[in-house]
Amino acid sequence: QHCCVCGQRGASIMCCEEECGRWFHLPCAKEGGCFTQHIPDYSAYCPEHRPEQDVQATPEPGNECPICIEPVEDKRTYGTMVCPACRRAWFHRDCIQ
């Protein structure tokens, strides 16, 4: 199978959305904006079908990730996540993973 991110053969992960047909390599997933869940049922999604966090919040300027203590972008992006409970703590997606 060809990877939808790098175009090379040997992709082994398929988007779990029915009738999608996109495949990707695990190392390409992060670079390509794919989403993989490492909890049961271990679903994987291409960038078009990945789930998005259902929280209506925007990070405040100067907000820091509590894990790495580095600044978090002051807008919602794929690379940031908000705590669903308090909606004030923002994290880098890489730090959470």
In angstroms, the first-to-last Cα distance of the chain is 26
| 46 band by pLDDT with thresholds 50, 70 and 90 | very high
- pLDDT tens digits for 58-84? 888 888 999 999 999 888 788 888 988
Q: How many CB atoms lie within 10 A of CB 85?
A: 7
Structure-token match 């390409």, residue found: 28
Instruction: List domains and CATH numbers for the chain.
Output: 1-51 (3.30.40.10), 64-95 (no CATH)
Global confidence as pTM: 0.70
